[in-house]
């Protein structure tokens, strides 16, 4: 600190002054956290007063004695306007993820995010917990399921990474839900030890395959290129991240958890702030986002959203390369790239599965629709319409007053979680891999663990005890091998020389006998040469 102050400001300070400044800063940080946690009940009352029917649940750990302060455990926030917007106008898909808080005390933020008609994020609910574990994820998913009325999850798709607690929670509480894994996380773990760009290209071809035939062909290509890579890829459970296995009905072909990644990026500065400032920043961002998008939606004069129109135009342009063959009963056969697809205009389906999976006609369906002299826009799902997009942001989050104007409940203040020990934030992922018997408690610890270690007595050379408790007869140690690597074709000779040196040194002076031995060694080398 003293060197940094000297370099930046050209001021001389002592170590004691730096220590006092650091202690003062730590005390101020602790005081700010304690002040925020002490007003958490008042903030809950303000939320209930300004945003009716919203969910704000706080759980605490009781004190050691009756009447003592409680300690914060976790909280859950879900605004009613966000729930209604998702249930009535958004596609049935939810992204789940957690992000660490950049506090001096432990904390994680769990969030559930939806997607609107313009493929933008719609935050649904969020929670602050001490750590990502099975208990907290079960608690968060159960509250989310109750607020959204998900039931067993048969009508919803979940996207997440492979966090163990999250996977278990979705499996236990939403057993019928389609649980997709983020393909980006799968790829990073799959090619962790390889930087082959060709493997990455093949992986994305497999992940973006819409049909089982296309999926099988891409797997066969990977098998010819690298059989070992294919064997390891099967262990990642491809049905959770390849589009060929996705169910129909979510009108979303996402296999990336970009929903939560985008949300976490918007709150990266809020995650550094104390609890109430964190919650207020997230709420205020959602409130402003709803207001701005409502203005954009009202000004939009097109039938569909901007990104939906871009996708429709892309499909229309691609349909020019298709060849169409008519059949009876509104059935058509479309050829593209030497592959034929069946298009059923009665059921609004295509053999490539993209139409029924996304809700926007694919290039094959667009070719048929144009051939029938109809509009492709008439076959797009209503999720992408401007009317539906306006309903999403019709009623947003209500404003909240400042801390001075909050109701004062005079409830017993809540203590913050235990102070973090060590460095704040997520631990480094670049630690060296530990050995079989090496401790993993600290990355800087190079000592071996005493677990499974077998001790050997230095007195009797037996295992299971040490010299202090040994009652056996002392055993002479074996002679040590000479230093250095033995010369080639002279290993036996070197051992003989070593023993000769030992015997001679026991009888006479070490210096004299070493000279004799070296002379004998030279003569032996000369004889070998002859």
> Domain extents for the chain?
21-182+257-303+391-419, 191-253, 306-384
Q: Count CB atoms within 10 A of the CB of residue 43.
A: 21
Are the C-beta atoms of 37 and 416 separated by less than 8 Å? Answer: yes
β-pair partners for 378: none
Q: Count CB atoms within 10 A of the CB of residue 197.
A: 9
Q: Which residue has the higher pLDDT, 511 or 222?
A: 222
> SS3 letters for 50-99?
HCCCCEEEEEEECCCCCCCCEEEEEEEEECHHHHHHHHHHCCCEEEEEEE
Q: In this model, does residue 67 exceed pLDDT 80?
A: no
The predicted model gives 463-475 an average pLDDT of 86
β-pair partners for 502: none
Give the model's confidence band at 12: pLDDT under 50 very low, under 70 low, under 90 confident, else very high: very high
Instruction: Calculate the alpha carbon distances from 179 to 60, 157, 170 in Å.
Output: 31, 6, 8
Say what percent of the chain tops pLDDT 70: 85
Quick one: how far is CA 513 from the chain centroid? 70
User: What confidence score (pLDDT) does residue 448 get?
Assistant: 57
Mutual angle of helices 510-529 and 491-507, in 10-degree steps? 150
Where are any strands of DSSP class E within 418-524? none
Choose from 337-351, 410-424, 433-447, 516-530 the range with maximum mean pLDDT.
Answer: 337-351
Quick one: how far is CA 525 from the chain centroid? 66
Q: In this model, does residue 491 exceed pLDDT 70?
A: no
Average pLDDT of every residue of the chain = 85
Q: Which residue has the higher pLDDT, 2 or 447?
A: 2
- Cα 497 to Cα 493: distance, rounded to the nearest angstrom: 6
Looking up tokens 């209930």, which residue turns up? Answer: 48
Contacts of 43 (CB under 8 A, 6+ apart): 276, 279, 403, 406
Buried b / exposed e along 302-314 (16+ C-beta atoms within 10 A): ebbbeebbebbee
Contacts of 360 (CB under 8 A, 6+ apart): 308, 311, 312, 315, 380, 381, 384
- Cα 194 to Cα 162: distance, rounded to the nearest angstrom: 21
SS3 content of the chain, % helix, strand, coil (to 5): 45, 15, 40
Could you read off the pLDDT of 147-164 as tens digits, one per residue?
999 999 999 999 999 888
The predicted model gives 403-418 an average pLDDT of 86
User: What confidence score (pLDDT) does residue 140 get?
Assistant: 96
Quick one: how far is CA 163 from the chain centroid? 7
> SS3 letters for 457-469?
CCCCCCECCCHHH
Q: In this model, does residue 90 exceed pLDDT 60?
A: yes
Q: What's the burial of 397, exposed, middle or buried (CB within 10 Å: 0-12/13-18/19+)? A: buried
The secondary structure of residue 443, as a DSSP letter, is T
Q: In this model, does residue 386 exceed pLDDT 60?
A: yes
Q: In this model, does residue 440 exceed pLDDT 60?
A: no
Tell how strand 93-100 and strand 157-160 pair up.
parallel
Are the C-beta atoms of 15 and 250 separated by less than 8 Å? Answer: no
Q: In this model, does residue 504 exceed pLDDT 70?
A: no
Contacts of 121 (CB under 8 A, 6+ apart): 113, 114, 115, 259, 262, 263
Could you read off the pLDDT of 280-325 as tens digits, one per residue?
999 999 999 999 999 999 999 999 999 999 999 999 999 999 999 9
Are the C-beta atoms of 37 and 414 separated by less than 8 Å? Answer: yes
Q: Count CB atoms within 10 A of the CB of residue 301.
A: 6
- Cα 92 to Cα 115: distance, rounded to the nearest angstrom: 9
């Amino acid at each position: 600190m003293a060197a940094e102050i000297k370099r930046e400001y050209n001021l001389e300070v002592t170590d004691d002054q730096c220590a006092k400044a650091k202690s003062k800063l730590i005390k101020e940080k602790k005081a700010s956290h304690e002040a925020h946690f002490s007003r958490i009940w008042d903030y809950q009352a303000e939320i209930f007063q300004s945003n009716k029917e919203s969910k704000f649940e706080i759980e605490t750990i009781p004190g050691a004695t009756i009447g003592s302060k409680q300690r914060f455990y976790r909280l859950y926030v879900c605004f009613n306007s966000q729930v209604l917007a998702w249930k009535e106008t958004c596609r049935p898909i939810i992204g789940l993820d957690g992000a660490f808080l950049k506090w001096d005390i432990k904390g994680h933020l769990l969030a559930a995010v939806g997607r609107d008609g313009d493929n933008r994020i719609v935050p649904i609910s969020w929670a602050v917990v001490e750590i990502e574990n099975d208990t907290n994820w079960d608690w968060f998913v159960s509250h989310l399921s109750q607020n959204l009325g998900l039931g067993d999850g048969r009508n919803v798709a979940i996207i997440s990474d492979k966090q163990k607690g999250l996977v278990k929670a979705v499996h236990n509480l939403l057993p019928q839900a389609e649980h997709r894994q983020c393909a980006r996380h799968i790829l990073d773990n799959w090619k962790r030890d390889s930087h082959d760009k060709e493997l990455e290209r093949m992986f994305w071809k497999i992940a973006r395959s819409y049909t089982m035939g296309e999926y099988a062909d891409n797997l066969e290509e990977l098998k010819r290129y690298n059989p070992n890579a294919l064997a390891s890829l099967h262990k990642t459970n491809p049905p959770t991240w390849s589009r060929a296995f996705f169910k129909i009905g979510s009108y979303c072909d996402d296999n990336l958890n970009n929903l939560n990644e985008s949300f976490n990026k918007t709150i990266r500065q809020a995650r550094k702030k104390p609890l109430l400032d964190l919650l207020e920043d997230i709420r205020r961002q959602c409130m402003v986002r709803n207001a701005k998008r409502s203005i954009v939606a009202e000004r939009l004069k097109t039938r569909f959203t901007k990104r939906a129109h871009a996708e429709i135009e892309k499909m229309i342009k691609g349909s020019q390369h298709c060849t169409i063959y008519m059949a009876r009963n509104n059935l058509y056969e479309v050829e593209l790239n030497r592959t034929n697809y069946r298009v059923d205009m009665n059921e609004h389906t295509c053999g490539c599965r993209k139409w029924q999976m996304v809700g926007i006609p694919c290039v094959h369906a667009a070719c048929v629709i144009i051939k029938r002299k109809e509009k492709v826009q008439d076959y797009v799902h209503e999720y992408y319409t401007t009317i539906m997009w306006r309903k999403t942001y019709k009623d947003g989050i209500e404003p909240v007053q400042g801390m001075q104007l909050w109701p004062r409940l005079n409830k017993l203040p809540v203590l913050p979680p235990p102070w973090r020990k060590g460095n704040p934030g997520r631990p480094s992922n670049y630690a060296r891999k530990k050995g079989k018997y090496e401790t993993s408690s600290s990355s800087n610890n190079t000592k071996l663990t005493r677990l499974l270690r077998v001790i050997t007595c230095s007195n009797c050379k037996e295992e299971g005890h040490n010299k202090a408790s040994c009652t056996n007869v002392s055993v002479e140690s074996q002679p040590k091998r000479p230093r250095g690597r033995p010369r080639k074709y002279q290993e036996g000779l070197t051992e003989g020389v070593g023993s000769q040196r030992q015997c001679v040194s026991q009888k006479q002076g070490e210096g004299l006998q070493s000279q004799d031995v070296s002379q004998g060694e030279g003569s032996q080398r000369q004889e070998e040469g002859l």
